[in-house]
Amino acid sequence: MPKPDGSLSAVVVSGGKQYRVAPGDQILVDRVGAEPGSSLKLGRVLLFQDGTDVRVGTPAVEGIDVEVKVIAHRRGPRIETLRYKSKKRVRVHRGGRADLTALQIIAVGGRTAEAEPATAGKAAKEKAGARKKAAPAVKAQAAETAEPDKKEEAAEPAKRATRKPKAKETR
């Protein structure tokens, strides 16, 4: 999924459906007649976004295309439909699986993922990694700074309070 921060992305049409893509993304589209490993160009681009510059096509943006690489041909999940009418002896069962193609987006408008600033991506990954590693360390540090009496109390399981029997009403 493209980032909403205004980086390079586009909206393309394939098989009558619209997909929002960015370089490096992988999408599943209806079956395309190309061999796995080959590259294609999707020429129908409805919207092109590059930083703060946004171009909307009427109906398509001229001179912009999206270069994709065919990864594999797959089949979608099994979809079943069942029509049933009670007391009428009508039971119709239909089902099928969609033929799909996995595509990897190589370039949008002639620009690849490497053309974008790599330092911003590294900083975001480092921050995410630092958060994941820092959380357990903070918990461990908080446990160490707790008073020894509280540690011992926390180690013992909490005792369950006994219930008092209800008073029976007499008539």
Render the burial of 155-170: b for 16+ CB within 10 Å, e for the rest: eeeeeeeeeeeeeeee
pLDDT at 118: 47
Strands 26-30 and 90-108: antiparallel
| Structure-token pair, residue 33 | 């007649």
Render the burial of 111-144: b for 16+ CB within 10 Å, e for the rest: eebeebeeeeeeeeeeeeeeeeeeeeeeeeeeee
Query: Could you report how far apart the first and last alpha carbons of the chain are, in Å?
Result: 71
pLDDT tens digits for 64-85? 999 999 999 999 999 999 999 9
**Residue written as token pair 């009558």:** 16
pLDDT at 107: 94
| Structure-token pair, residue 11 | 């909206």
**Integer Cα distance of 121 and 7 in angstroms:** 11
For the entire predicted model, the pTM comes to: 0.60
Residues of the chain with pLDDT under 70: 1-6, 114-158, 171
pLDDT tens digits for 48-69? 998 888 899 888 999 999 999 9
pLDDT tens digits for 89-98? 999 999 999 9
